Structure 1
Amino acid sequence: MSTPNHRPSPAPSSMNLRGAVDLSALKARSAAPAAPAAGATEPGAAPGPSPFVVQVSEQTFPQVVQLSAEVPVVIDLYSDASADSQQVSAILAAIAVEQNGRMLLARVDVDAYPQIAQAFAAASVPTVAAVLKGQPVPLLDRLLPEEQIRALVGELMQVAAANGVAGSLEGGTQEAPAEEALLPPLHQEAFDAINAEDYDAAAAAYRRALAEQPADAEAKAGLAQVELMARLRGADADAVRRDGAEQPDNVDAQLAVADLDIAGGHVEDAFRRITGLIARVYGDDREKARLRLLDLFEVVGIADPRVTKARSALARALF
């Protein structure tokens, strides 16, 4: 993560900007010389309802990723065979029109370009992700009510602004930059450490902030995020999932898979895995799993409806 142009407020806890998927392989596959112009479509594709809605192919995908340094790029992985997909696409297109150049909606037909779907670990449609400064951000993997989709995009725009991605595409308008917001010293220390990918130092700063202010919700969420980042650093995803499949009652193996699921946007899978584990194990193992689940609640966001549902499942598993 590169240093932003101004001091931001901490990113909302449900947005993880670190390595949810690896886009490098797709970038390397294309030799296309120029970025697609806003409003451009692939041959045979229906024109978008806005110059800020584009059809993406495997060849033009890398150029769309380049635009993520200027504006948030929302990736709509859809299929014409899915009614749910069509509903999500219509909502996202309306939002893109309203944003008027402050975001780009990149639509990917998964039936035509399965490689892109695989890069985002899209197991089904609709799946929606975003890209900020080349870094992927999972958004949703199922049909949600329009107000929830709008809330997710709103949160994305806040995270983008906090990380200096607040431009406007040609033909749109750019809002005046918000007044610089100063972070508390320990939060700034943590943020600087995150930019340097020193997650241990970031965690230490957040712990000191919590020692001073135990009710500091931003520090608590930040600590949970950087601890997740630290656990995922250098992880071999294939090996982690293989160990999880071979050792269903090994707490460490199962929690490692849950971390991968959270980073990849498979929130409900992660929560089900841990609550199921809690129901099967006892003593220190159960407490370790319970505490990890509470940490992941902070990563996702305690107001998220999936967290509310998982809290009920946790209560049933414990009692």
Structure 2
Amino acid sequence: MTQQPFSRPGAIDLSALKRPAPAAGGSTPSAAPAGGASAGSAYSVAVDEANFQNVLEASMTAPVVLVFHSATQSPESEQLARDVATVAAEYDGRFLAASIDVDAVPQIAQAMQIPQVPLMLVILDGRPATQPIPGAAPIDDIRALFNQLAQQLTAQGIAGRHQPNAFAAPAAPGEEGEEAEVDPRYAPAQDALAAGDIDRAVAEYQKLVDGNPADAEAAAGLAMAKVLQRTQGVDLNAARAAAAASPDDLDAQTLVADLDMLGGHVEDAFARLVELVRRTAGKDRDRAREHLLGLFGAVGNDDPRVLKGRQALASALF
């Protein structure tokens, strides 16, 4: 499966579809029903004519991966839809998997001029962000594709995430139409990230941390911005090859751990560094441990993966 760079072609033409009134509670798409190709995930949704517009609107927050499938035309496409939903769930909201059964809702496939099933299409800001990706693929290839897309998102400063289970939860009274307020203290750093100026983002977060070391959000932002800074311009395949060839090379191993973080493979990053701590001693061990602590900070100390990682680190140290 080849790399699919993000682009900004024209908006999707929905003129061939009916425009049903949105469901009460705002524009969040409905959850996938029981059964179906992609049900059962907090980050997947079964698309029909009633919620398709809302699914596209969800792509204003973070990418939506549309999967066109059909049990009658292509039985293997059902597995593809399930695998895409599985992989999307591994990225903690960076992607939403949206499955479209062309047997049940042929009008959507017709409106989008889908030539075949199975087919994947990444939507961002309501528009196709990649060329259509035809054919079935093993789940490892799907993971590789998502990893490439996640890295491109990060490089472009696109950090939005879909909310887990939000696709089934109605808005609470008084919450319709409300948006979460953004703390203005973080705006300069976030603006720098959006502009792709990683060095400026690091500097802005550093100012916040220097001014208030107890600011956990600023500390996490600084840690993640430093990950971006360390990985600018890095070739993923070359970095992985170097790490595989030199398993005790501290720089090679920490770089791949950073790349795993950017790709959403948080536990893989932690495990790599824990093993590095276990194998090293002296200054190298201290560097590996400090790097791992920095990644813990980027994810957040309350995250269960961090709690598990800290336990593994303690075991490696003692």
- Normalising by structure 2, we get a TM-score of 0.57
Q: Secondary structure at the match of 2:144?
A: coil
What whole-Å deviation, never above 9, does each CA across 1:102-127 have from its counterpart, x for those lacking one?
x975238699432897364269xxxx
**Aligned residue in 2 for 1:311:** 310
Q: How many residues are paired up?
A: 234
Asked if 1:70 corresponds to 2:60, the answer is yes
Match of 2:184, SS? coil
Instruction: State the distance in 1 between where 2:137 and 2:13 align.
Output: 23
Please name the residue that 2:249 is paired with: 250
CA distance in 2, matches of 1:180, 1:278: 40
CA RMSD of aligned residues (A): 5.0
TM-superposed CA distance for 1:231, in Å, is 1.3
Partner of 1:113: 136
Summarize the alignment of residues 1-319 of structure 1 with structure 2, pairs less than 5 Å apart: 23-24=4-5, 34=13, 53-54=46-47, 69-70=59-60, 72-75=62-65, 80=78, 85=82, 105-107=97-99, 112-114=135-137, 118=141, 120-121=143-144, 152=164, 175-178=176-179, 180-184=181-185, 187-319=186-318
Post-superposition Cα deviations, 1:241-296, rounded to whole Å, max 9, x if no partner, equal: 01000110000000111111111122221111100000111111111111111111
Q: Which amino acid counterpart does residue 201 of structure 1 have in structure 2?
A: R
Aligned in 2, Cα 1:153/1:257: closer, same or farther, shift over 3 Å? farther
Q: Letter of the aligned partner of 1:302 in structure 2?
A: N
Between the aligned partners of 2:159 and 2:195, the Cα distance in structure 1 is 19
Structure number with bigger Rg: 2
CA contact (8 A) 1:76 1:105 kept: yes
Tell me, which stretches of 5 or more residues in structure 1 are unaligned? 1-20, 40-45, 56-63, 93-102, 124-128, 140-149, 157-173
CA separation of 1:266 and 1:79: change in aligned 2, threshold 3 A = farther
Using a 3 Å threshold, how does the CA distance of structure 1 residues 69 and 105 change in structure 2: closer, same or farther? closer
**Bigger mean CA offset, 199-208 vs 68-77:** 68-77
Q: CA–CA distance in 1 between the matches of 2:200 and 2:209?
A: 14
Counterpart residue type for residue 201 of structure 2: A
Q: CA deviation at 1:205?
A: 1.8
Which SS does the other structure have where 1:255 is aligned? helix
Residue equivalent to 1:126: none
Compared with structure 1, are the counterparts of its residues 180 and 263 closer, same or farther at alpha carbon in structure 2 (3 Å cutoff)? closer
| Partners of 1:67 and 1:73 within 8 A in 2 | no
Normalised to the residue count of structure 1, the TM-score between the two structures is 0.56
Letter in 1 for 2:5: S
Cα gap change, 1:227/1:291 in structure 2, threshold over 3 Å: closer, same or farther?
same
Q: Where do 5+ consecutive residues of structure 2 fail to align? A: 20-28, 30-35, 40-44, 49-53, 68-75, 90-94, 101-117, 121-133, 168-174
Structure 1 pair 228–47 and aligned structure 2 pair: CA distance change class (3 A): closer
Q: In the aligned structure 1, how far is the partner of 2:189 from the partner of 2:96?
A: 30
- Alignment identity in percent? 36
Mapped contact 2:300–2:306 kept (Cα < 8 A): yes
Helix, strand or coil at the partner of 1:302:
coil
